[in-house]
Structure 1
Amino acid sequence: MDTTVADTLIGTTIDGRYRITGRVARGGMATVYRATDERLARTVALKIIHPSQATNVHFVDRFTDEAKTIARLTHPNVVAVYDQGRHQGLPYLVMEFVQGKTLRDLLAQRGKLSPVESLAILEQMLAAVAAAHRAGLVHRDVKPENVLVAEAPSGGTADLVDAVVKVADFGLARAIEASTVDESGQLMATVAYVAPELVQSGQADARTDVYSAGIVLFEMLTGRVPYDGAEPVEVAWQHVDNDVPAPSTLVPGLPRALDELVARATRRNPAERPTDAGRLLTEVQAVRDSLGTLHVETAMLRQVPGRPGVADATTIVPTVPAADATALVPPVPGGYGPPGGQRPSWARLPEQGGRSTAPHRRSAPDPHGEGFFADRRRIPLFSLIAVIALVVLGSTWWLTLGRYTDAPNVVNLPRAQAQEVADKAGFGVLFAEPGQYSSTVPKDSVISQNPGPDERVVKGDTLTLILSLGPEVHAVPDIIGQEAAAAKGSLEELKLKYQEGKGQYSDTIPEGVVITTSPKVGTELKPGETVTVILSRGRAPITVPNVVGMNINDARAKLAQNGLQMVERHKDSDQPKDQVLAQTPKPGTGVEKNTEVTLDVSNGPPLLTMPDVNRHPCQEAKGTLEGMGLVVQIGGLNPNGTVLVQAPAPNSQIPPQSTVQIQCF
């Protein structure tokens, strides 16, 4: 069946921007589509998880982490991530679309690769993984399916030496100290390439990726993985119990240096492997240089005029001590070079047109002495051969031994001093970002270097130095407003422990979203310390009624009817006595049963003190009392006379707006 037609997402536009045009691949957890970014008019890869995984919080967290991880790895050999979002509740990533094939596709098509092609691909793989290691991450799933081989500048993937290689699927990447076993206890790696320590302890570091890269090199050289079995667990334990065989036992004639390179990368004891992908990359480059040098030497010797059988000759190379096993390697036998006998661009020689490779025929002895002159004519030829041999030997010495020196030791030195030592030794310096935390190495001093101290390296090479960031502490991140899963991921990314406290109801924050933390945001903690997270329980089940303006008795009955308790606070007011003036919580707030509602209750207006207006002129007394807000009634015989009687009596307490009487005579 045509999956493009059957897939309902084909033709869909995601987020009003990404129009899906076809399916690229479908895995157990997610599907990758080809899409067009209509805003930027470019082709992208869109990876969206399957609906069956959407309810798996841990998987969704890992999927989201993939975007964050790749975004941290800005490197030309890492598949870039452009965007992330959700479509119908399903998380998706928008990534760089690589036009080409996976290394798995190439191996299925060609069986195996030549040594030169294998090393060219491995170099770029390791450059990508080394970037992850410098960022404190370990890939944990290095395998041919995750290696994309883009079309070469000349077009197509036929010339693998010139092809661009990109490493994908950092979704399993974690901080090196993190566990490599998922919540179900399953090993999160592919068993054909899994390192022994992952099988035994479930722990991974940069050397775990080195092991997997060694297995990938073995497969590129031989066309198969070293172990197989009926069950995955059987294959996994073979990595623990057995040493990886030498590739030359399966493909006779492979250079010894390749056997030793695979052996070093796949030691069962992690301590015996290169410490990270950068260190392995240095070894790979040395081996590749050696292969390229001896290709050149063989080609030059084949161009010597008149050498009998030189086209089929094999150069004999002296035995090299084990310590320098990568320095000289024998010429690669026919069939392992680039297709069609063509050399890669970095080892290609100019054409030698018009020269015959057929052996010279010796003339019969000249009875008249002409043979003597023929012998003399051979002298320049022998001299030329000697000169070429010296040039080849000198070039070989320089390319394999003479240009190498020992890397200086700058570990534990302060930054400025390390720079000074490297400058004096003629080395460039690159300070890797962001550095590493250390409780033993002072801040801004060198924790490690690549190449390592006293390692044989090319003169004038660059030392990559990792500086100490000092003791590791992290500020509690601002996770207020995040969902629980995202908050947990943010804390675990900083190596802080996540703990949920008692939730709180909230009318404004949705259920499952962080309301607050303890310690507070910004507090500095050491790795392993715990952050207690308070999540919203959503809106409470009871809505507080509005009792403002009611008489206190009516308010009591209303609150009791809703299962709420009441607390009264009486205060003076110009409102009638026992009227509810305000309430807390406010009307409409969600609360639990038996929650206390505090009511402000009016004591009524404040009382006035009745003044003494006796013996005052009647109209003057009337003005005084009305000025106090009282209602005045005048009695007696003479309204314009003098007040002789007043009620209420002087100095008595009366409410505002009360009616008072004065008797005037």
Structure 2
Amino acid sequence: MNYCLKENCKSINSPPEARICLACDSMLLLKDRYRAIKMIGQGGFSKTYLAVDQDKPSKPPCIIKQFYFISQNKADLKRAIALFEEEAEKLDTLEKHPQIAELLANLHDDYCQYLVQEFIPGKNLTQVLETEGIFSEYQIRELLNSLLPVLEFIHSHKIIHRDIKPENIIRRLPSNPVYQTGIKGQLVLVDFGVAKQLTNVEIFKPGTILCTPEYAAPEQLKGRASFVSDLYSLGVTCINLLTNISPFKLFDTGENKWVWRDYLIDNPISKKLGNILDKLIAEATNKRYKSATDVLKDLNCGKL
């Protein structure tokens, strides 16, 4: 099946090897290389497709993220494209890391921006939660020991992920050649928030929120994301995995405090881990951990 990437063209009936859309005569292959074969996600300003890389003999799968430009103001578009390029260049400096989905290409036309990313076979943690149930303390410790070094790595390159949540953490399939024994080597961060740098550029629909509010730090929702915002989102991810409850429900707005412990059912958590999670999700940035390294020290040998 082929998906045409032209805005407002919904044709999916072109022959498998077609290069031109039968409905609108647009090119089906992005950059004459990447063929969209299945839509796997859609939001207010973007679509996500499973695709194949036609340039390689094995035609490996990849992901195309398509972002729509609402504004056609040339100055806005020029600024948006420049910011996309800047963020994409930062991601490219990460080189290939086994726990980061690789950015393969950053492209644009008159109406859309496209990011082509490595496809990671496996389940995201939302799917794991649905099929395997809530996480134990041991699993949360393993998750933190797996992902905190990844955050330390990207933060050292001056990059903020901006959208850490269970859906953006993939557990690799054991059959994947990059898979390593144990949970530590099999968790992968995907969907870096390249587009989320564009909050102040009027190219998307008015009111569009370029992050996931349930998991976003308070300062991020005000347009001031920092490295500790990623740590906050990782902490909120942990309490969601421990309870299988929406983070919105885990925060008591009347008391202005987290009440996630009230939702632990037959899932005891040590005081030490609980205190670490509390510090990760503190509302005030000056009460949170300052770095992933600091969290790892407390998690593995430090005392609170």
TM-score class, shorter: 0.7 to 0.9
Match of 1:360 in 2: none
Aligned length: 275
- Give the C-alpha shift of residue 14 in structure 1: 2.4
Match for 2:285: what amino acid? P
Partners of 1:162 and 1:134 lie apart in 2 by 20
Partners of 1:65 and 1:161 lie apart in 2 by 33
Match of 1:47 in 2: 65
- Give the C-alpha shift of residue 63 in structure 1: 4.3
- Checking the alignment, whether the CA contact within 8 Å between 2:64 and 2:116 is kept in structure 1 is yes
Match of 1:207 in 2: 228
- Residue in structure 2 matching 1:20, options 36, 42, 49: 36
- Give the C-alpha shift of residue 182 in structure 1: 5.9
Match for 1:122: what amino acid? L
Task: Answer yes or no: is 1:266 the counterpart of 2:266.
Answer: no
- Checking the alignment, whether the CA contact within 8 Å between 1:152 and 1:162 is kept in structure 2 is no
- Give the C-alpha shift of residue 150 in structure 1: 1.7
Cα deviation code 1:26-70 (max 9, x no counterpart): 232222222222222322222222465777626555544442232
Question: Kindly tell me: are residues 100 and 4 of structure 1, through their superposed partners in 2, closer, same or farther at Cα, counting changes over 3 Å?
Answer: farther
- Checking the alignment, whether the CA contact within 8 Å between 1:86 and 1:92 is kept in structure 2 is yes
- Checking the alignment, whether the CA contact within 8 Å between 1:246 and 1:263 is kept in structure 2 is no
Q: Which has the larger radius of gyration?
A: 1
Partners of 2:80 and 2:198 lie apart in 1 by 15
- Checking the alignment, whether the CA contact within 8 Å between 2:68 and 2:111 is kept in structure 1 is no
Q: TM-score, normalised by structure 2?
A: 0.73
Task: Answer yes or no: is 1:277 the counterpart of 2:277.
Answer: no
Match of 2:259 in 1: 245
Match for 1:68: what amino acid? E
- Checking the alignment, whether the CA contact within 8 Å between 2:145 and 2:184 is kept in structure 1 is no
Helix, strand or coil for the counterpart of 2:153?
helix
Partners of 1:63 and 1:77 lie apart in 2 by 22
Partners of 1:151 and 1:170 lie apart in 2 by 21
Helix, strand or coil for the counterpart of 1:138?
coil
Match of 1:171 in 2: 193
Helix, strand or coil for the counterpart of 1:221?
helix
Q: Which has the higher strand share?
A: 1
- Give the C-alpha shift of residue 80 in structure 1: 0.7
Question: Kindly tell me: are residues 29 and 66 of structure 1, through their superposed partners in 2, closer, same or farther at Cα, counting changes over 3 Å?
Answer: farther
Cα deviation code 1:508-562 (max 9, x no counterpart): xxxxxxxxxxxxxxxxxxxxxxxxxxxxxxxxxxxxxxxxxxxxxxxxxxxxxxx
Question: Kindly tell me: are residues 172 and 78 of structure 1, through their superposed partners in 2, closer, same or farther at Cα, counting changes over 3 Å?
Answer: same
- Checking the alignment, whether the CA contact within 8 Å between 2:168 and 2:189 is kept in structure 1 is yes
Match of 2:303 in 1: 324
- Give the C-alpha shift of residue 100 in structure 1: 1.2
Task: Answer yes or no: is 1:216 the counterpart of 2:240.
Answer: no
Unaligned runs of 5+ in 1: 230-234, 288-322, 326-665
Partners of 1:72 and 1:263 lie apart in 2 by 33
Equivalences for 1:101-500 in 2 at 5 Å? Answer: 101-153=123-175, 161=183, 164-172=186-194, 188-199=210-221, 202-228=223-249, 238=253, 242-247=256-261, 250-252=264-266, 253-284=268-299, 286=300, 324=303
Equivalences for 1:37-116 in 2 at 5 Å? Answer: 37-40=53-56, 41=58, 42-50=60-68, 52=70, 57=77, 60-74=81-95, 75-86=97-108, 90-116=112-138
Partners of 1:47 and 1:116 lie apart in 2 by 34
Partners of 1:54 and 1:34 lie apart in 2 by 28
Q: TM-score, normalised by structure 1?
A: 0.36
Percent identity reads 23
- Give the C-alpha shift of residue 220 in structure 1: 1.1
Match for 1:83: what amino acid? A
Question: Kindly tell me: are residues 130 and 50 of structure 1, through their superposed partners in 2, closer, same or farther at Cα, counting changes over 3 Å?
Answer: same
Question: Kindly tell me: are residues 261 and 3 of structure 1, through their superposed partners in 2, closer, same or farther at Cα, counting changes over 3 Å?
Answer: farther
Match for 1:126: what amino acid? L
Question: Kindly tell me: are residues 179 and 19 of structure 1, through their superposed partners in 2, closer, same or farther at Cα, counting changes over 3 Å?
Answer: closer
Partners of 2:245 and 2:71 lie apart in 1 by 32
Partners of 1:114 and 1:179 lie apart in 2 by 37
- Give the C-alpha shift of residue 134 in structure 1: 0.9
- Checking the alignment, whether the CA contact within 8 Å between 2:38 and 2:51 is kept in structure 1 is yes
Match for 1:210: what amino acid? L
- Residue in structure 1 matching 2:52, options 36, 40, 51: 36
Match of 1:343 in 2: none
- Give the C-alpha shift of residue 263 in structure 1: 1.0
Partners of 2:200 and 2:195 lie apart in 1 by 12
- Checking the alignment, whether the CA contact within 8 Å between 1:33 and 1:45 is kept in structure 2 is yes
Match of 1:590 in 2: none
- Checking the alignment, whether the CA contact within 8 Å between 1:139 and 1:173 is kept in structure 2 is no
- Checking the alignment, whether the CA contact within 8 Å between 1:84 and 1:93 is kept in structure 2 is yes
- Checking the alignment, whether the CA contact within 8 Å between 2:62 and 2:119 is kept in structure 1 is yes
Match for 1:324: what amino acid? K
Partners of 2:200 and 2:243 lie apart in 1 by 31
Match for 2:138: what amino acid? V
Question: Kindly tell me: are residues 14 and 203 of structure 1, through their superposed partners in 2, closer, same or farther at Cα, counting changes over 3 Å?
Answer: closer
- Give the C-alpha shift of residue 98 in structure 1: 0.7
Partners of 1:179 and 1:45 lie apart in 2 by 21
Match for 2:11: what amino acid? T
What's the RMSD between the two structures over aligned residues? 3.8
Partners of 1:180 and 1:87 lie apart in 2 by 20
Cα deviation code 1:110-139 (max 9, x no counterpart): 342222223323333323322221122322
Match of 1:474 in 2: none
Helix, strand or coil for the counterpart of 1:104?
helix
Partners of 2:122 and 2:296 lie apart in 1 by 24
- Checking the alignment, whether the CA contact within 8 Å between 2:215 and 2:247 is kept in structure 1 is no
Partners of 1:255 and 1:153 lie apart in 2 by 34
Helix, strand or coil for the counterpart of 1:139?
coil
Question: Kindly tell me: are residues 238 and 123 of structure 1, through their superposed partners in 2, closer, same or farther at Cα, counting changes over 3 Å?
Answer: farther
Match for 2:124: what amino acid? T
